[in-house]
Amino acid sequence: MDDDTFEAWMTEQQQAPACGPCILLASRIRRMAGVLLAESRGKVHPPNPSEAWCQLRDTRWAADIDLDDFLIRPDLDVKIKYEAINYETDSIVVSEMVAERAAHRQYIRQSRDERRKQQAD
């Protein structure tokens, strides 16, 4: 790639608008992470973020994240905490989503119980 082509490409990259669907999905994933942490009462598997990052080695994410360089950092589990997602999410929205999911699970249980009762009659 010659210098002019490279500079044109760089300019295009810097001036391109952000991907709207990507932003929406990232926001949704962040909220769901908060919901999952709340529902599990903070229990996560694997317990250490470094172990979780290692599990990405054989996935497509490995091409996007230089895991080998990233994982050799000795302070990885000190700097990265699962609970940090709570600082990046709206706690009211997370609480509402937890309640919605609990209500949905209750609805599913009641529906199952009603079907069982009808089948028994």
- Provide the token pair at 46: 């694997």
Q: Please indicate, yes or no, if residue 65 is contained in any of the structural domains.
A: yes
Q: Provide the 3-class DSSP secondary structure of residue 84.
A: helix
Q: Please indicate, yes or no, if residue 29 is contained in any of the structural domains.
A: yes
Give the percent of the chain with pLDDT over 70. 100
Q: Which domain holds residue 82?
A: 19-120
Q: Please indicate, yes or no, if residue 104 is contained in any of the structural domains.
A: yes
Asked if residue 106 lies in contact with residue 49, where contact means CB atoms within 8 angstroms, the answer is: no
Q: Please indicate, yes or no, if residue 14 is contained in any of the structural domains.
A: no
State yes or no: pLDDT of 64 exceeds 80. no
pLDDT in tens, 5-63: 988 888 887 788 888 888 889 888 988 999 999 999 989 999 988 899 889 888 888 77
Q: Please indicate, yes or no, if residue 41 is contained in any of the structural domains.
A: yes
Asked if residue 94 lies in contact with residue 35, where contact means CB atoms within 8 angstroms, the answer is: yes
Please count the structural domains in the chain: 1
- Classify the phi-psi angles of 41: left when phi > 0, otherwise alpha if psi is within -120 to 50, otherwise beta: left
Q: Please indicate, yes or no, if residue 79 is contained in any of the structural domains.
A: yes
Q: Please indicate, yes or no, if residue 6 is contained in any of the structural domains.
A: no
Asked if residue 35 lies in contact with residue 97, where contact means CB atoms within 8 angstroms, the answer is: yes
- Would the pTM of this model clear 0.75, i.e. be above it? no
Q: Please indicate, yes or no, if residue 3 is contained in any of the structural domains.
A: no
